[in-house]
Amino acid sequence: MTDWPRVDYFRASMRGLYAIVDLALLQARHIDPVAFSEAILSARPAALQLRAKGASPRDTLALLRTLAPMCHRVSVPLVANDRPDWALFTGCDMVHVGQTDMPIDRVRRLAPGLGVGVSTHTTAELEAAIQARASYVAFGPIFETLTKEKPDPIVGVAGLYRARARAALACIPLVAIGGITRERARAIVGAADAIAVIGALLPPATTGDEERTMSDVLSEVAGRARELSALFAIEPASAGAG
């Protein structure tokens, strides 16, 4: 049975920080992904996505199963990346797919109650996602990004404003993606419903004689998550492409 009220809830709540837990990045910094996620969840983000490129299916599924009840305790949607079947098996609320992943209509046939977000990089891709009634649409990259081996062309802030105007007409949230730092986030609050952030949630890596305990790192992660979430508490009264 189709569970559209649940999907509509996630669409309505997609505002603020869309936090991405990138396993490769955390492993490089020797940070436990569960502890990292717990720190982010203290800020009640709009969503938490697990990105586990290169991780084994067993490890990814185990981590999703661990994160699901943590997210649900604080009413934060958990998003699996690429795999709707894994999202379904592990109690996730949503799945995020790219342009080469399973199409939205097929995801809904597999899991009618699962929210579906999709990455878009052009006006045509954005329009297709809107017509498919995605739960949210991610659009970008807004800025240059280092988290993709072959990034798509930059769409810029002006392109983001235009994309949000189109998505707003369809009542579909727009998530800005690509190269969003703490400083850049302030410039695009009025141009998106949410911002997808990866590296900006982490403090800079220490070098030389600098020492920082894991507790200190996680405390700063929580602070950064709260700071980014707070940007969307009050949206600027007027916003435009300039």
Supply the CATH number for residue 195's domain.
3.20.20.70
**What band does 3 get if pLDDT is binned at 50, 70 and 90?**
very low
Q: What's the total number of domains in the chain?
A: 1
Mean pLDDT of 203-212: 70
Q: Determine, yes or no, domain membership for 241.
A: no
Instruction: Give domain status of residue 236, yes or no.
Output: no
- Scanning 74-155, the segments in alpha helix (DSSP H) are 84-90, 104-110, 123-131
Of residues 209 and 179, more confidence is placed in 179
Q: Which of 237, 216, 218 is nearest to 226 (CA)?
A: 218
The pTM score is 0.91
pLDDT tens, residue by residue, 87-140: 999 999 999 999 999 999 999 999 888 999 999 999 999 999 999 999 999 999
d(Cα 131, Cα 240) in Å, to the nearest integer?
24
Domain membership of residue 242 (yes or no) is no
Q: Does 31 fall in a domain?
A: yes
User: 240 in a domain, yes or no?
Assistant: no
Tell whether the torsion through CA atoms of 40, 45, 51 and 56 is positive or negative: positive
Residue 177's SS3 state is coil
Indicate whether 225 belongs to any domain: yes
Within-domain flag for 101: yes
pLDDT in tens, 220-233: 999 999 999 999 88
Give the pLDDT mean for 142-156: 79
Query: Residue 7's pLDDT is what?
Result: 55
Domain assignment of residue 17, given as a range: 4-205+212-230
Report if residue 104 sits inside a domain: yes
Q: Does 206 score more than 80 pLDDT? A: no
